[in-house]
Amino acid sequence: MNKKSNNLFQKILTKRTVFISFIIAATLASCNKNNEEMMTEAHTTTLHAESIKKGQLEGQTITYERKDGMNFFQGDIVLSDKQLVGDNSKGGASFSRWPGGKIYYTVASNMGSINANKITSAVNEYNTKTNTQWIPRTNQTNYVEFIFGSSSGSDGWAHIGFQGGRQNISLDQYISVGSVIHEMGHTVGLYHEHARKDRDQYVSIQWNNIQDGQAYNFNMYNSGTDIGPFNINSVMMYWPNSYSKNGQPTIKRANNTNFTYNRTGFTTGDINTINTMYP
């Protein structure tokens, strides 16, 4: 082989060596990335599993999530430690009503005008259609503060019933007025409609479509008091696709047909339920 051919061979060999090295490096990087993603997912799953707890709520064993120092039941209901150990003293029971149906409230200074307007609309719905009265706080010690949640989300959460002292309702930036009414419903003392003891007569839970580790959010709450008939359009009803892992419904009608639900505000059933609780 002459010198020119030898140089050409070396160049080809060098390029091929570089190319093969690039493939090996890219493959290793991909493997490392996949391993990192798998480790991250496993770590997240482990953290989630560690945050899932068992507790007692009015004599019933329930599953809840311990997150940010709070106890989340069915996703957006915050239970106090007293409620989970059955301490009914000092307004600790989950069925406690607001005295006289009067709920004093204040709005956090960072809430923003858009959500402040949603709160005003929701308060007007309660004050004009139910026996509860939401009243701006002056110096009351038992009250609710609307606090700002996520700047990119559309959810919320609230403490359940009257607990005494300050309690919160958290609202994300893009939450709807209907969902504000929903969270205020928890404060009034309402649980989710899909958790009623008679729910299986009216709806079918699609367990195979629920996200892994979230099925406990669909358990029935047997210790509550069901008021009036089941209301699939209740403002307290889960969405048809709540916690779906595949975009398919997690809740259908009992005859296995889909239902369309828009959370826009109170139904007559919601109003009757609240007014039964607060005559």
Q: Same structural domain for residues 190 and 123?
A: yes
| Catalytic residue status for 125 | no
Taking the C-alpha atoms of residue 57 and residue 267, their distance in angstroms, rounded to an integer, is 28
Q: Same structural domain for residues 85 and 117?
A: yes
Per-residue pLDDT at 191: 95
Q: Annotated binding residue at 186? A: yes
Q: For the whole model, what pTM was predicted?
A: 0.80
What pLDDT, in 10s, does the model give residues 9-60?
444 444 444 433 433 344 434 334 333 333 222 223 334 567 999 988 888 8
Per-residue pLDDT at 86: 60
Q: Same structural domain for residues 23 and 134?
A: no
Per-residue pLDDT at 110: 96
Q: Which segments in the chain show pLDDT lower than 70? A: 1-49, 86-95
Q: Same structural domain for residues 39 and 167?
A: no
Task: Return the sign of the alpha-carbon dihedral for residues 200, 202, 204, 205.
Answer: negative
Per-residue pLDDT at 27: 40
Q: Which residues span the domain enclosing 119? A: 58-279
Per-residue pLDDT at 212: 95
Residue owning tokens 């990087």:
29
Rg of the Cα atoms in the chain:
26
Taking the C-alpha atoms of residue 17 and residue 10, their distance in angstroms, rounded to an integer, is 10
Per-residue pLDDT at 261: 81
Q: Same structural domain for residues 148 and 20?
A: no
Q: Same structural domain for residues 40 and 66?
A: no
Q: Which helix (H) or strand (E) holds 166?
A: strand 166-171
Read off the DSSP letter of residue 265.
S
Residue 218 one-letter amino acid:
F
Candidates 54, 275, 57; CA nearest to 160 is 57
Q: Between helices 177-188 and 268-277, what is the axis angle to 10°? A: 30
157, 160, 165, 170: CA torsion to nearest 10: 10
Among 51, 66, 91, residue at a domain's last position:
51
Per-residue pLDDT at 205: 98
Task: Return the sign of the alpha-carbon dihedral for residues 184, 126, 58, 85.
Answer: positive
Phi and psi, residue 88, nearest 5° = -90, 5
Per-residue pLDDT at 171: 98
270, 274, 275, 279: CA torsion to nearest 10: 170
Q: Same structural domain for residues 116 and 224?
A: yes
Taking the C-alpha atoms of residue 1 and residue 205, their distance in angstroms, rounded to an integer, is 77
Taking the C-alpha atoms of residue 196 and residue 186, their distance in angstroms, rounded to an integer, is 14
Residue 169 one-letter amino acid:
I
Q: Annotated binding residue at 159? A: no
Q: Same structural domain for residues 37 and 74?
A: no
Taking the C-alpha atoms of residue 238 and residue 247, their distance in angstroms, rounded to an integer, is 15
Q: Spot the catalytic one: 65, 125, 183, 193.
A: 183
Taking the C-alpha atoms of residue 212 and residue 244, their distance in angstroms, rounded to an integer, is 9
Q: Same structural domain for residues 91 and 32?
A: no
What total number of domains does the chain contain? 2
Q: Same structural domain for residues 122 and 35?
A: no
Among 34, 51, 68, residue at a domain's last position:
51
Per-residue pLDDT at 52: 93
Q: Annotated binding residue at 192? A: yes
Q: Same structural domain for residues 220 and 246?
A: yes
Task: Return the sign of the alpha-carbon dihedral for residues 38, 44, 47, 52.
Answer: negative
For strand 77-79 and strand 156-159, is the pairing parallel, antiparallel, or unpaired? Answer: parallel
Q: Same structural domain for residues 93 and 215?
A: yes
In this structure, what CATH number is given to the domain that contains residue 203? 3.40.390.10
Per-residue pLDDT at 83: 85
Taking the C-alpha atoms of residue 262 and residue 233, their distance in angstroms, rounded to an integer, is 8
Distances (CA, A) of 34 to 11, 207, 218: 34, 30, 33
Taking the C-alpha atoms of residue 130 and residue 235, their distance in angstroms, rounded to an integer, is 14
Coil/strand/helix, residue 17: helix
